[in-house]
Structure 1
Amino acid sequence: MSTKDWLEKDYYKILGVSKDAKPEEIKKAFRKIARENHPDQNPGNKKAEARFKEASEANSVLSDPKKRKEYDEQRSLFGGGFKFPGAGGARPGGYGSSGPSMDDLFRNATSGNQDISDLFGGLFGGTTTRRTTRSPRRGTDIEGEVTIDFTQAVEGTTVSLQTVSDAPCASCRGTGAKAGSVPKVCTTCQGSGMKETQTAGGFAMAEPCPECRGRGLVVEDPCPDCSGSGRARSTNTMQVRVPAGVTDGQRIRIKGKGGAGENGGPPGDLYVLVNVRPHPVFGRKGDNLTLEVPVTFTEAALGADIEVPTLNGPPVRLRVPAGTPNGRTFRVRGKGVRKANGDYGDLLVTVNVQVPSSLSAEAEAALRNYADVVGSGNPRA
């Protein structure tokens, strides 16, 4: 297997595991893919056959500790996802249709006076040039917080949320310069926003330019409203949909509703922390609602049909069998929280046998007569 394959292919992604996955996780993932895509199980299915071969190749590397270590080191060196040029036809540099190997590249770079940066400039189809255009920058993520009722959390609701985020300054339109002036291209990074430094191994490392802080522009006469940053605080009110079944303390991600991006970059995301007020009667356990229902001693002993409430519907009748002990839980199907697949959880009803705090003379006599009839056995024996 060539170094080119190792740099271009993400074996972890192919098997669907994380980069710190344990050997048993890799083995389990490969077996699942192999079982679903084996040629014997999918005769004539070219797609399944290709998937099987791809997974086998990934497993042969990641299941071998030595190969996996070498693979991780090489991808870390080039940042992962390194692509060799010339997907078809002849490759640059006269290496032929099979493309250069890493050994060929470094051998040619060190055989003469060629600089390593020239090597990679030629590899990607031309000489190295300093980037002078400012790259797009993604907007910042922002957070908000809402408090909703128990019923709203179960059924879902729409709430109004006010957010504060960074946006282009209205006074200078995001330039950071005072009205009547314009920012100048940073002479340190030539407008790229990045500064390159050479490491001991001859590689160029890029980091945000300390002079312009990655903007690529230097403001000599700053805008008084944003102090030259080009950004200002923006208040925005939006309607946020809280899905059914949300739990207390859950964070909801709303893509693209965060801070505005710069230079054509995408906006950030909005994260909403949901607080749920407790219900005076109902509780919750996952997708099930919980409810405690008091019953009398005679109802528990002799049995009874009782009515129990539901969260947003009519009461339902529940049969309490004779001899029901205190704390027994009954299940009412389909009266719980709506699940993501459209089904509903259940209502869990727990019986709480009530003991009278005082008795009339007749009731006390009747209970003593009952005790004489059933005997004086010790339930704690």
Structure 2
Amino acid sequence: MANAKDFYQVLGVSSTATADEIKKQYRRLAKQHHPDANQNDPKAAERFKEISEAHNVLGDPDKRKEYDDMRRMGAFGGMSGFGGTRPSSRPGASGARPGQPGAGTFNDFDVGGIGGLGDLFSSMFGGAAGAGRQRARGPERGQSIEQMVEVPFRVAAVGGKVPVDIEVNEECATCHGNGAAPGAQLRPCSECSGRGVISFGQGSFAVNRPCPVCAGRGSVPTARCSTCRGTGDTRVSRKVLIAVPSGAETGAKVRLRGQGGKGAAGGQAGDLVITFTVTADRFYKRDGLDLIATVPINIAQATLGSRISVKTLDEKKVAIRIPAGTSAGKRFKITGQGIEKDGKKGDLLVEVTITVPETLTEAQEKAMREFAEAGGMKF
């Protein structure tokens, strides 16, 4: 299975990496290879897709266990220590005959089923695996897409909507998914005898996988479609509006049902999974549901006291009193003007800093000296 992807290599982690290490590495790579950040790199979108596919499997404990089990059994050729054997088109080809003690097939593990190990083949072999399942099981659910989206701090705090450009696989409009050029004929695939799958033998196990020649369709065109190059689908861009709930934080996810890749043969569309990355704000910082706003005051205000006004998230101005003798770092609480989430609302904490003038007029310097000398300071 030379076309298989090693998801550990895709993410650049070892097979013993912890869930936190996998998540951290995924976020780093997703940010580095995001198409929006690499608009001049035509390969960025494909790399981003591979990273998302790998995290979709390795980031899910159940899928990762299934993947590791298959990897140890040598189902992916050079990806494990067992080595690989030549695929055979003979059904049930393996080291032991079906029915004998010790013989088994990966069909026992639901290789072709939706939600079973077949999903791993779909990720590792792309459209070929999907086509193989389509032929064997009928309608196939579309691919789910995971994408990271930057959300402005204030939108995340109060809620709102952000536009997102996504790329999905759609059925080719020219060949309607069969991979044939207009006027070309479809002939039974000689490699798999029109079955769409071939058997792969590994020790005392065997697995049916999509035929690499016909991509699991069971037939090959006399001339390939020039639009999709015979794959049967094309990559298209789509713009959607994502609703951001109030109080959203970095790492929060939103799943949009049916907004992912189009299903094949009448199957349901996949989902779009959005992971938020909240950008920093020039004025506010967040501490749980509380907001922290840093406000500068001068020496006179800190010494003599003053009144200042602060803007809340909803752009209202609230006046607060700064008492005489206030020191830098002092916080003043404005109750109920923080972030609202799940029926709870935080506070706005105003933290003052004291600014020192870089230059003084002659009169200001004289007054400052007199003030200092009155306190016993000598110059």
Match of 1:210 in 2: 212
After superposition, the Cα gap between the structure-2 partners of 1:203 and 1:280, relative to the gap in structure 1 and judged at 3 Å, is closer
CA distance in structure 2 between the aligned counterparts of 1:156 and 1:376, rounded to whole angstroms: 54
After superposition, the Cα gap between the structure-2 partners of 1:192 and 1:254, relative to the gap in structure 1 and judged at 3 Å, is farther
Match of 2:375 in 1: 374
Segments of 5+ residues of structure 2 without an aligned counterpart are 1-15, 20-64, 73-95, 109-132
Match of 1:318 in 2: 320
Match of 2:339 in 1: 337
Match of 1:102 in 2: none
8 Å contact kept, 1:154–1:245? yes
Q: Which amino acid aligns with 2:218?
A: G
Match of 1:174 in 2: 177
1:154 aligns with 2:135: no
1:270 to 263, 272, 289: 272
CA distance in structure 1 between the aligned counterparts of 2:200 and 2:365, rounded to whole angstroms: 93
Match of 1:355 in 2: 356
After superposition, the Cα gap between the structure-2 partners of 1:117 and 1:345, relative to the gap in structure 1 and judged at 3 Å, is same
CA distance in structure 1 between the aligned counterparts of 2:151 and 2:135, rounded to whole angstroms: 47
After superposition, the Cα gap between the structure-2 partners of 1:355 and 1:185, relative to the gap in structure 1 and judged at 3 Å, is same
CA distance in structure 2 between the aligned counterparts of 1:139 and 1:284, rounded to whole angstroms: 38
1:151 is displaced (CA, Å) by 3.1
1:162 is displaced (CA, Å) by 4.0
Secondary structure of the structure 2 residue equivalent to 1:218: strand
CA distance in structure 1 between the aligned counterparts of 2:356 and 2:242, rounded to whole angstroms: 48
8 Å contact kept, 2:135–2:217? no
Secondary structure of the structure 2 residue equivalent to 1:176: coil
Superposed CA deviations along residues 178-221 of structure 1, whole A, max 9, x for unmatched, are 34455344354455533223333x32223332222333332233
CA distance in structure 2 between the aligned counterparts of 1:303 and 1:119, rounded to whole angstroms: 83
1:163 aligns with 2:166: yes
Q: Which amino acid aligns with 1:374?
A: G
Secondary structure of the structure 1 residue equivalent to 2:264: coil
- The within-5 A match list for 1:31-180 is 76=69, 115=100, 133-135=135-137, 136-142=139-145, 149-180=152-183
Q: Which amino acid aligns with 1:344?
A: K
Secondary structure of the structure 1 residue equivalent to 2:156: helix
CA distance in structure 1 between the aligned counterparts of 2:102 and 2:200, rounded to whole angstroms: 12
Secondary structure of the structure 2 residue equivalent to 1:153: helix
CA distance in structure 2 between the aligned counterparts of 1:133 and 1:335, rounded to whole angstroms: 58
Q: Which amino acid aligns with 1:172?
A: C
Match of 1:35 in 2: none
Match of 1:37 in 2: none
Secondary structure of the structure 1 residue equivalent to 2:225: coil
Match of 2:227 in 1: 225
After superposition, the Cα gap between the structure-2 partners of 1:328 and 1:193, relative to the gap in structure 1 and judged at 3 Å, is farther
Match of 1:346 in 2: 347
After superposition, the Cα gap between the structure-2 partners of 1:344 and 1:182, relative to the gap in structure 1 and judged at 3 Å, is farther
CA distance in structure 2 between the aligned counterparts of 1:134 and 1:365, rounded to whole angstroms: 91
After superposition, the Cα gap between the structure-2 partners of 1:348 and 1:258, relative to the gap in structure 1 and judged at 3 Å, is same
After superposition, the Cα gap between the structure-2 partners of 1:118 and 1:325, relative to the gap in structure 1 and judged at 3 Å, is closer
CA distance in structure 2 between the aligned counterparts of 1:278 and 1:348, rounded to whole angstroms: 17
Q: Which amino acid aligns with 2:175?
A: C
CA distance in structure 2 between the aligned counterparts of 1:173 and 1:117, rounded to whole angstroms: 44
CA distance in structure 1 between the aligned counterparts of 2:238 and 2:286, rounded to whole angstroms: 34
CA distance in structure 2 between the aligned counterparts of 1:215 and 1:347, rounded to whole angstroms: 61
Match of 1:301 in 2: 303
Secondary structure of the structure 1 residue equivalent to 2:372: helix
Match of 1:87 in 2: none
Secondary structure of the structure 1 residue equivalent to 2:344: coil
Superposed CA deviations along residues 94-139 of structure 1, whole A, max 9, x for unmatched, are xxxxxxxxxxxxxxxx9x995469999xx9xxxxxxx994334443
CA distance in structure 1 between the aligned counterparts of 2:304 and 2:134, rounded to whole angstroms: 87
Q: Which amino acid aligns with 1:232?
A: T
1:142 is displaced (CA, Å) by 4.4
After superposition, the Cα gap between the structure-2 partners of 1:178 and 1:116, relative to the gap in structure 1 and judged at 3 Å, is farther
Q: Which amino acid aligns with 2:169?
A: D
**TM-score, with length taken from structure 2:** 0.55
Secondary structure of the structure 2 residue equivalent to 1:134: helix
**TM-score, with length taken from structure 1:** 0.55
Higher normalized contact order (CA 8 Å, seq sep 6+, divided by chain length)? 2
1:20 is displaced (CA, Å) by 10
1:258 aligns with 2:260: yes
Superposed CA deviations along residues 15-37 of structure 1, whole A, max 9, x for unmatched, are xxxx9999xxxxxxxxxxxxxxx
Secondary structure of the structure 2 residue equivalent to 1:257: coil
8 Å contact kept, 2:134–2:265? no
Superposed CA deviations along residues 55-88 of structure 1, whole A, max 9, x for unmatched, are xxxxxxxxxxxxxxxxx99x959x9xxxxxxxxx
Segments of 5+ residues of structure 1 without an aligned counterpart are 1-18, 23-71, 80-109, 124-130
Match of 1:195 in 2: 198
8 Å contact kept, 2:151–2:278? yes
After superposition, the Cα gap between the structure-2 partners of 1:225 and 1:313, relative to the gap in structure 1 and judged at 3 Å, is closer
Match of 1:328 in 2: 330
Q: How much is the aligned-residue C-alpha RMSD, in angstroms?
A: 4.6
1:291 is displaced (CA, Å) by 1.8
Match of 1:290 in 2: 292
Superposed CA deviations along residues 240-261 of structure 1, whole A, max 9, x for unmatched, are 3233334578775434312212
Secondary structure of the structure 1 residue equivalent to 2:207: strand
